[in-house]
Amino acid sequence: MPMKCYVAAEIGTSHGGDIIKAEELIHAAAQSGVQGAKFQMVLAHEIIHPNTGLVPLPGGDIPLYQHFESLEQPLDFYKRLQELCRKYRVDFIASPFGATTAQWLQQLAPPFIKLASPELNHFPLIQQLVSYRIPLVLSTGVSHLADIEKALEYCGDLPVTLLHCITAYPAPEEEYNLSLLKLYRGLFQCPVGVSDHSKDPLMVPLTALTQGASMIEKHLCMKRNNRGLDYPFALTPQDMALMCRELAQLEELSSHQQLASLQDRWGEEKLAALLGTGEKKLAPSERENYSRTNRSVHGLVDLKKGDVLSTENSALLRSEKILKPGIAPQFYPLILGSILNKDIPSGEGINWQDLLVYPSGNNNQAGERTTEPG
């Protein structure tokens, strides 16, 4: 039974650079009934700084930058993935994280490009992607309504789909607040869906469908007991197939029948928890990630008092757990050319109080400083 709702199996980097394992995952995704297989085009330096530190995994803490480096693959690898997707009749989809991987995707010309939640405020990247005129899918985890509005301003008239998401791994089903999908559709007049990081294969996807979701993204792995960032909440091929079957069956019912069916299955209280209030706010499980998993201005090297800020010695990176967040990305063009009034260790966020700002053509005297906009 074909689905109207588009389902993407998020393979991400679970292939580990092994093309045989990648083919196994793509084949499993296709057999489960999804329309797309999605990958992450990781270049570590586009995402975080080497001093980002450790992240906890079931098998122990790992250095995140080195882990991302181990996932790096050349463009030819992704060309091969695209060929395998054609072989198994699923769409090749991928997420870029910076200028280079965005250029790679332009060459591959997928049906759409998926932007992960932490890149929702990476406005230079969004502008670059918009220039390619390839439709965008934006994940909206760890964001406020104003963050989504700002990202959409940069998208202009490009076709965009918004995916509601919670940036927590795994994410509790009862925090999903899925009635938000109707708010998004009404406010932004665009297709909506869910990028689901919860463990359950059915609760969030099926409930999202009742709220108008036209796209579901869910992580896929061959076995849940493997070591990796995504395995604790990824679906096995069997559970992915179950999800696709249940979505197709639910699509055949009227809106009233859909909600009644889910209420009979999970009970009124559970369904109400899944639907939530419809008010856009950070979920409890992702609150501490705000300003840390999304982008801000960071130094790339040890910066000294008197240094001039440039794209060679700074970048828009994720802060993660240890490093201090910096100035928001929309102000990055404004502060380039500023002079630092203090030393900043490599990797740390750069904030307004760290700068002496000299706008072009302005003869400010030493010691004067702009105030933080807004």
For 284-293, the pLDDT digits (tens) are 999 998 989 9
Same domain, yes or no: 339 and 236: no
Q: pLDDT-based confidence at 61, cuts 50/70/90? A: confident
Q: pLDDT-based confidence at 366, cuts 50/70/90? A: very low
Closest residue by Cα to residue 179 from 200, 210, 206: 210
Same domain, yes or no: 263 and 321: no
Same domain, yes or no: 277 and 344: no
Same domain, yes or no: 226 and 332: no
Q: What percentage of residues in the chain have a pLDDT greater than 90?
A: 87
Same domain, yes or no: 133 and 156: yes
Q: How many CA atoms lie within 13 A of 305 on its CB side?
A: 6
Q: What is the mean pLDDT of the chain?
A: 92
Is the pLDDT reported for residue 81 higher than 70?
yes
For residue 372, tell me if it sits in a domain.
Answer: no
Q: What percentage of residues in the chain have a pLDDT greater than 70?
A: 92
Beta bridge partners of 340: 355
For residue 226, tell me if it sits in a domain.
Answer: yes
For residue 174, tell me if it sits in a domain.
Answer: yes
Where a domain ends, among 286, 311, 341?
Answer: 286
Same domain, yes or no: 79 and 155: yes
pLDDT for residue 362: 40
For residue 371, tell me if it sits in a domain.
Answer: no
Where a domain ends, among 286, 319, 340?
Answer: 286
Where a domain ends, among 265, 286, 307?
Answer: 286
pLDDT for residue 370: 35
Q: What is the pLDDT of residues 217-249, one digit of tens each?
A: 999 999 866 555 566 789 999 999 999 999 999
What CATH number did the domain enclosing 266 receive? 3.20.20.70
For residue 254, tell me if it sits in a domain.
Answer: yes
**By the 8 A CB rule, do 126 and 100 touch?**
no
Same domain, yes or no: 316 and 199: no
Rounded CA-CA distance 276/339 in Å is 47
Same domain, yes or no: 133 and 40: yes
Structure-model confidence comparison of residues 370 and 147, the more confident one:
147
- Pairing mode, if any, of strands 355-356 and 339-340? antiparallel
Same domain, yes or no: 281 and 250: yes
pLDDT for residue 215: 98
- The model carries a pTM of 0.92
Q: Which domain holds residue 25?
A: 6-286
Same domain, yes or no: 134 and 246: yes
Rounded CA-CA distance 344/325 in Å is 12
For residue 362, tell me if it sits in a domain.
Answer: no
**By the 8 A CB rule, do 11 and 39 touch?**
yes
Same domain, yes or no: 257 and 159: yes
For residue 303, tell me if it sits in a domain.
Answer: yes
Indicate the number of domains in the chain. Answer: 2
Is the pLDDT reported for residue 43 higher than 70?
yes
pLDDT for residue 230: 63
For residue 308, tell me if it sits in a domain.
Answer: yes
Range 55-66 average pLDDT: 79
pLDDT for residue 62: 85
Same domain, yes or no: 280 and 303: no
Q: pLDDT-based confidence at 169, cuts 50/70/90? A: confident
Rounded CA-CA distance 133/109 in Å is 10
Range 118-145 average pLDDT: 97
What CATH number did the domain enclosing 331 receive? 3.90.1210.10
